[in-house]
Amino acid sequence: MISAERIPNNVGLSSNKRLQRALEHWQPKYIQWWRDMGPQGFQDYHQVYVRTAVSVDPSGWAHFEYVKLPEYRWGIFLADPVHDRRIGFGDFMGTPVWQEVPGEFRNQLRRLVVTQGDTEPASVEQQRWLGQRCPSLYDLRNLFQVNVEEGRHLWAMVYLLHSYFGRDGRDEAEELLERQSGNRDKPRILDAFNEPIENWLDFFMFTMFTDRDGKSQLLSLSESSLDPLSRTTRFMLTEEAHHMFVGETGISRILERTCQLMKGAGYSGDVRKLGGIDLETLQKFINLWFSLSLDLHGNEVSTNAASYFANGLKGRAYEEKWDDHKVTEAMYELELLAEGKLERRHIPMRTAMNEVLRDWYVGDCQAGVTRWNRILERNGFSDRLRLPDRKFNRGIGMFSAVHFDPEGHQLSDADWDRRKHEWLPSVTDREYLMSIQAAPVYEPGKFANYIAPPQRGIKGQPVTFEYVRTEA
Ligand SMILES: [Fe+2]
Ligand SMILES: [Fe+2]
C-alpha cells in the first residue's frame, strides 16, 4: 500500500484513488528496474548520505539522511501554482493555461513527456558501473544523488502520463522501463542516451553538457501552456542545477590537479606519466559530449518546433525576457548547408526554435568553459579549453551530412577518418582513463591521484565525512 510517507508528494495522492492504484501497479516494476539497471553493487549493503525531496519549499526538499538506494523515497512534486497563469507565447497567448490536455494536442504533448521521461532512466543505466571506479566517497555519493534524482524525474513524467494521458499514458509508462540504454533491439529514444559512460571523465562531461541539455529542455517545457507539465518541470530544474554542479566542479577539480602535476614537473612534464589527465584528453571529451548534446536540441529548421511554439507546448528559455512572444513576423539568421555549401540565411524564427534554444545552450556552456579557463590562468598556464564549432561531429541536423573540424572548417571523409582522433577520444585515451580508475577509492577523505578534493563537503559535513558507508 502506498502512503504519502512512502511516496512524498504534493499532488494529493492519498485522495486520488485511481492514480494511487495506477502507481501501486507501476512501483514494483520501477524498483525491479532500479535493482537490475541501477547502480551495480550498491543496492543492499550500502547506506548513502543523500538528499530527499519531501516538499517543495526550500527546507523541505533539502532533507538529508543515510538511505539504502532501493529504499529511497522517490516523490512526486509540482512547483507551486502561479495565480491566474496565462499562456505566455504563441497563438493562444494571453488565454488561461490548461489544466487538462486538449484533445488536438494530446499526441504532441505525450511525445514531449515520453521523450523527456526516457532520458531519465537512460542516464541511470549509462552510469550504473561507475561506482566500481569512483575517485572518492564524496564523488560516489554525488553520483548516487544524481541517479536517485533522475529516478525521481522519471516518477515525475510517469505521474503526468498516468494522470493526463489515460490508457496510452499507462502503456508509455511501462515502456519507459522496457527500453534500455545501448540495447540494440530496444534502445533509448535519443542517441546521447545510448552512449556508454564508462569512466568518470565521461560522467563529469555528461553532467556538465548533457544534463545542461536537460536544463534547456526543462526551461522550454516549464513555459508550457499545459500547467501540470510547467509546474513539474519547474521543480525538476532545481535538481538539475545540482547535476551540472557535479559535472562542472568535477572537471574543475581534475583541472586543478592537472595544473599541480604539470607545475610539479616544471611546466613541461607529460601529465600521464604522473597519473593525471592531460589537457588534450579533457579537450577531446569536451568535444565529444558537447557535440552529442547539441544534437539533442534537434534539427536546425523544424516545422515540429514551429508548431510546438505556435500551440504553446514548448517556449523559449526564459520566454519573459523576449519582447515579441508571438513571433509571427520575426526572422532568424542562421548558418546552413545548401547544396553542400555553407551560407547564412534568414528563415522564419518559429521554424528556427530549436536553433534559438541551442543558442541559449551554447552560451550557458561557454560560461562554464570560461570558468574552467580561469583555473588554468590562475595557475599560470597559457593553454585554454574551448567549445568546438557547433558543426563539429554532428549526428543530427543538416551538418551531420558533412564533416567539420572543431574550428568549423569542412573536411573530406578521408581527412575526417584520418584526423578524428586528434579531436575525439581514441581507444588509447579510454584505456588510459580506465587504467587510472581501475581501483575505486572507498576510504573517507581520500581522493584518486587525478582529481583534487572539493573545496567543501556536503551540507556542512567535512570532506572527510563517510558519505557512503557499508553495513557491517
Ligand atoms: Fe533529469
Ligand atoms: Fe539531470
- Strand 468-470 with 63-67, pairing: unpaired
CA of 119 to the centre of ligand 2 (A): 9
- Tell me phi and psi for residue 337, to 5 degrees: -105, 115
State the pLDDT confidence band at 2, using cuts at 50, 70 and 90: low
Give CA angle at 52 (51, 56), nearest 5°.
115
Q: Is the pLDDT of residue 395 over 80?
A: yes
For residue 455, what are the contacts with CB-CB under 8 A and spacing of at least 6? none
3-state secondary structure of 412: coil
CA of 379 to the centre of ligand 2 (A): 31
Per-residue pLDDT at 68: 96
What is the pTM assigned to this prediction?
Answer: 0.96
Q: Which of 273, 244, 260, 34 is nearest to 152 (CA)?
A: 34
Scan for cell 563539429, then name that residue. 392
CA of 350 to the centre of ligand 1 (A): 27
- Tell me phi and psi for residue 406, to 5 degrees: -65, -15
Per-residue pLDDT at 54: 82
State the pLDDT confidence band at 221, using cuts at 50, 70 and 90: very high
Q: Is the pLDDT of residue 71 over 70?
A: yes
Query: Which one-letter DSSP state was computed for residue 206?
Result: I
Query: Residues 277, 283: contact at Cβ < 8 Å?
Result: no
- Give the number of whichever ligand sits closest to the CA of residue 152: 1
Per-residue pLDDT at 3: 59
Scan for cell 515540429, then name that residue. 304
State the pLDDT confidence band at 449, using cuts at 50, 70 and 90: very high
Tens digits of residue pLDDT in 105-119: 999 999 999 999 999
Longest dimension (CA), the chain: 68
State the pLDDT confidence band at 344, using cuts at 50, 70 and 90: very high
d(CA 94, CA 406): 43
Crossing angle between the packed helical segments 137-164 and 227-264, to the nearest 10 degrees: 160
Per-residue pLDDT at 472: 55
Query: Residues 229, 109: contact at Cβ < 8 Å?
Result: yes
3-state secondary structure of 63: strand
What percentage of the chain carries pLDDT values higher than 90? 92
Mean pLDDT over all residues of the chain?
A: 95
Query: Residues 465, 139: contact at Cβ < 8 Å?
Result: no
Question: What's the rounded mean pLDDT across residues 87-107?
Answer: 98
Per-residue pLDDT at 352: 98
CA of 264 to the centre of ligand 1 (A): 39
d(CA 337, CA 239): 37
Tens digits of residue pLDDT in 25-65: 999 999 999 999 999 999 999 999 999 888 877 777 778 99
- Give the number of whichever ligand sits closest to the CA of residue 212: 2
CA of 190 to the centre of ligand 2 (A): 15
CA of 10 to the centre of ligand 1 (A): 19
Residues in the chain, overall count = 472
Per-residue pLDDT at 62: 76
Per-residue pLDDT at 4: 60
State the pLDDT confidence band at 265, using cuts at 50, 70 and 90: confident
Tens digits of residue pLDDT in 164-208: 999 999 999 999 999 999 999 999 999 999 998 999 999 999 999
State the pLDDT confidence band at 266, using cuts at 50, 70 and 90: confident
CA of 203 to the centre of ligand 2 (A): 11
CA of 78 to the centre of ligand 1 (A): 15
The three cell numbers locating residue 414: 578521408
**DSSP 3-state percent helix, strand, coil across the chain (nearest 5):** 50, 10, 40
